[in-house]
Amino acid sequence: MPSEEVTSSTAPAQDKQPKRSPRRTPWGVVRGFWHTFVSFANLLLLILLLGSLLSKYISPTTTTLFAYLGLFFPVLLVLTVLQALYWYLIRAWSRAVINTLMLLLSIPTLLLYMPLRAEQTPPIDRENWLKIVSLNAYAFNFAKLGPNDQHPTTDYLAESDADIICLQEGWLSSNKSKYMSERSLRHALSQYPYYSSAYAVKDHGSRLIVLSKYPILSTRPIDLHSKFNGGAVFTILVGEKKLVLYNLHLESFGFTKEEQQHYVELAQEVKTKSLTKAIDLRFGPAFVRRAKQVEQIYQDINYQESPYIIVSGDFNDTPLSYTHHRLSQGLHDAIATTGSGTNYSYYLRRWLGVRIDHMLYSDQVEARAAHVDKSAQVSDHKPLICYFKLH
């Protein structure tokens, strides 16, 4: 019988070779590393920005970390804007949206730090408005005065047309001294018939001074348990209304011009560890002491019976600080509600400024045209000026 050739109905199986991933080029490796680095840096940046937004709610007595982050809010905000633009540029839409949402969340804080509005003009009807000038006098620059010498600070204040002047760091010497004395101050500002002062610390050192065109009914110092700083409450009779005016000089960092220069040099030389340690030794204790001081002042304000309250002075802290936030509870910030721009009142360098001088006011007081006089060259601080009406 003839043999039959058996044929297979299936094709021979082919060996399946595993797919090889394409070899990564050096440029691909660099791109991958860069993408990972930027993504991680962006996450860290968003966390730091969020921390700066929370800084005003967290007392430095708990931790000083957020207080430091609050100081760097402008830098963190700018970096977040640049990072968002980068994500949009490379079309990384999900990351761009996250950065944009964080920027939108930052708007209220930005407007507190740097309000954006058309500048208000001072009221024309000055009869019903009080013009108040607050200035850290910087001990009148410790300038010696001859018998007929004029001082730039008192000359400026005399020409300010203010109704009430609040001075911090008002070091006054004896009447026979060559430095600024109470007699020489009152003589230079003779258009202010009412004068009162309180020592920042017990019975010595700098003074908190108020000169007024309205009667000063009482003066009460506030012991802030500090070596150099303090506060005082002045009750002023404006018509038939009692204005309670707080003149404050809260805990300062206490560093000298030489120390400021040293910090800048450390930063320029990228000596991070030395810079961090040097700053923390100065900043940390001051943050904590201010937090305790504002609790004391906040309680004092709450005990006031008069609805007309103005809190002014050198807070030594920014609008984003716990200091400012705590004192502002129940009050309004004059720059935030009527001012425009950064209104830096103290400059560490010509290009580096902060707003640490503030005016707060109660509901029964109306504010207008709050601003810092950037042109004044009478102290290491700039004068803060605002118009108020008592309703």
CA distance 116 to 341: 6
Range 79-82, long-range pairs (CB < 8 A, 24+ positions): 79/45, 80/45, 80/46, 80/49, 80/106
What residue has token string 């030794």?
281
User: Which residue, 344, 333, 341, 339, is CA-closest to 374?
Assistant: 344
48 and 82 share a domain?
A: yes
Query: Residue 252 phi/psi, 5° resolution?
Result: -95, 165
Q: Tell me: the pLDDT tens digits for 319-341?
A: 999 999 999 999 999 999 999 99
Q: Tell me: the pLDDT tens digits for 128-182?
A: 999 999 999 999 998 888 766 789 999 999 999 999 999 999 999 887 788 899 9
User: Which residue, 250, 172, 174, 175, is CA-closest to 211?
Assistant: 172
Binning pLDDT at 50, 70 and 90, where does residue 26 land?
confident
284 and 317 share a domain?
A: yes
**The pLDDT of residue 10:** 52
Name the residue range of residue 77's domain: 27-113
Query: In this prediction, what percent of the chain has a pLDDT beyond 70?
Result: 86
Residue 180 · residue 189 · CB < 8 Å:
no
108, two tokens: 């209220």
212 and 282 share a domain?
A: yes
What's the whole-number average pLDDT of the chain? Answer: 89
Q: Flag whether 4 is in a domain.
A: no
Binning pLDDT at 50, 70 and 90, where does residue 21 land?
low
151 and 109 share a domain?
A: no
Q: Flag whether 59 is in a domain.
A: yes
254 and 381 share a domain?
A: yes
Of 81, 113, 145, which marks where a domain is finished? 113
Of 84, 113, 142, which marks where a domain is finished? 113
Residue 119 · residue 387 · CB < 8 Å:
no
User: Which residue, 386, 373, 391, 374, is CA-closest to 338?
Assistant: 386
Separation in Å, CA 288 to CA 67, 129, 349: 10, 37, 25
Q: Flag whether 174 is in a domain.
A: yes
Q: Tell me: the pLDDT tens digits for 59-73?
A: 999 999 999 999 999
248 and 315 share a domain?
A: yes
**The pLDDT of residue 350:** 80
335 and 252 share a domain?
A: yes
Number of domains in the chain: 2
Residue 243 · residue 236 · CB < 8 Å:
yes
- Residue 26: Cβ-neighbour burial (10 angstroms; 0-12, 13-18, 19+): exposed
Residue predicted with more confidence, 125 or 134? 134
CATH of the domain at 135: 3.60.10.10
375 and 276 share a domain?
A: yes
Query: Residue 217 phi/psi, 5° resolution?
Result: -80, -35
Separation in Å, CA 97 to CA 80, 92, 106, 265, 332: 12, 9, 14, 38, 33
Binning pLDDT at 50, 70 and 90, where does residue 374 land?
very high
48 and 196 share a domain?
A: no
Q: Any idea how long the chain is?
A: 391
Residue 323 · residue 290 · CB < 8 Å:
yes
105 and 213 share a domain?
A: no
Q: Flag whether 148 is in a domain.
A: yes
Q: Flag whether 120 is in a domain.
A: no
Of 91, 113, 135, which marks where a domain is finished? 113
Separation in Å, CA 14 to CA 21, 52, 159: 21, 63, 99
Q: Flag whether 18 is in a domain.
A: no
CA distance 369 to 387: 6
Rg for the chain, CA atoms, rounded: 30
Q: Flag whether 150 is in a domain.
A: yes
Query: In this prediction, what percent of the chain has a pLDDT beyond 90?
Result: 72
Ranking 1-5, 152-156, 269-273, 381-385 by mean pLDDT, the lowest is 1-5
Element spanning 330, H or E: none
Average pLDDT over residues 350-374: 95
Residue 275 has pLDDT above 80, yes or no: no
Residue 248 · residue 297 · CB < 8 Å:
yes
107 and 223 share a domain?
A: no
Cα angle for residues 166, 367, 290 (degrees, 5° grid): 50
Residue 17 has pLDDT above 70, yes or no: no
Q: Flag whether 13 is in a domain.
A: no
Q: Is the model's pTM score more than 0.85?
A: yes
91 and 204 share a domain?
A: no
Separation in Å, CA 71 to CA 52, 55, 65, 284: 8, 9, 10, 13
